[in-house]
Amino acid sequence: MVTNEIYAFGTGGTVADGDVMELADYAADSDRTNGNQAGIARRDLVNMVLRQTSHLAAGLALFVAGRYASGVVDDGDLDAVVNGLTAAIVDVIENTPHDHLLEEVTGLAAALAAKLNVDGTAANALRLGGLLGDTGASPDSVMIRDGSGDSTLRYLFLEYLHYGAPVEVRATDGKFLTLSDDGYVRVNTREGMLASLQLLTAVHSYTAVQAYTPVTLAVTGGAATWDMTAAPVAEITLTGDVTLTVTNAVPGSSPTLRVRQDATGGWSLIYPSTWRWAGGAAHDVTGEAGAVDLVQTDVDSAGVVYAQGVGGYAEVV
């Protein structure tokens, strides 16, 4: 049960009975602005003052009482009032759905383009107030990918409030937005983030296995596309003859393709004609049913793919 011992005063008073004043008269009354003067106190004026102030106090008390276990008690304990108000604010932040805490931030794309350097050379920052205070004329908004679907900057700020730690999310245009614990919103490209953190030049030690999750390539109409960036480790099962197309071969990378024959076997895999093979001949996949071959590639600085294949993997008998 909610405990609230703070009540509004004069809620039943009427202008007709002389208990209170018309709001316009109260607003214009010189005694309201100058305070009570010498003489007899005016009933309707004093009642208006008490009603308005107690109305707000009672409403605030009701807000706190509904979110604070000890409620609001008329015992003169100001520390309890402060504790209750703090608890109520925290409750609202933690338990109110995200969609109601912060409205859509519009015009942000124009603001970021105008205010921030996103060429990858360094992370630039500006205060949140400046970011939201001058959003430009563009009506578009920057969409943020939050891992479960598209949201807006709302997600970034609310996660920071909830977890109390720096949060980073990636915009759909490939740039990163970060709200750090110093109160800044930072924007940068992936390359700039890596450069600023020196991830490419520092020596790292790992305490767990680092691995790519194998991606199964889809075969449609006798053709399959291998995105080497999205799938550095790929697999394909041949259920017919397949022509392979490759995209996003990043210089310096070494993607791997595992090729399996189905239960029928005898199918072939046709590689891109631009590949260069060890020995000068493309690898012919093993034709036996269920056979597994491994095609290892290496991409040079010009984006040319060098490949070699090993076939006939089987258990030792």
Helix, strand, coil percentages for the chain (3-state, nearest 5): 30, 25, 50
Tens of pLDDT, residues 23-36: 999 999 999 999 88
Span 127-139, average pLDDT: 34
Q: With the C-alpha atoms ordered 186, 192, 196, 197, is the resulting torsion angle positive or negative?
A: positive
Which CATH fold topology does 215-312 show?
Answer: Jelly Rolls (2.60.120)
Measure Cα distances from 229 to 225, 234, 310 in Å. Answer: 12, 10, 22
- Determine the pLDDT at residue 36: 84
Burial class of 126 by CB neighbour count within 10 A (0 to 12, 13 to 18, 19+)? middle
- Determine the pLDDT at residue 102: 36
- Assess whether pLDDT exceeds 60 at residue 146: no
Alpha carbon distance 171, 157 (integer Å) = 14
From 51, 52, 87, 43, select the one nearest 68 (Cα to Cα): 87
Alpha carbon distance 222, 242 (integer Å) = 5
Domain boundaries, the chain: 23-95, 108-197, 215-312
User: Mean pLDDT for the chain?
Assistant: 75
Find all residues with CB under 8 Å of 295, minimum gap 6, and list them.
256, 257, 258, 259, 271, 283, 307, 308, 309
Confidence of residue 203 (pLDDT cuts 50, 70, 90): confident
Which pTM was predicted? 0.41
Span 214-229, average pLDDT: 96
Alpha carbon distance 57, 26 (integer Å) = 20
DSSP bridge partners of 313: 292
Alpha carbon distance 283, 300 (integer Å) = 19
- Determine the pLDDT at residue 37: 86
Residue 128 corresponds to which tokens in the numbers above? 């949140």
CB 263 within 8 A of CB 290: yes
CB 226 within 8 A of CB 246: yes
- Determine the pLDDT at residue 91: 83
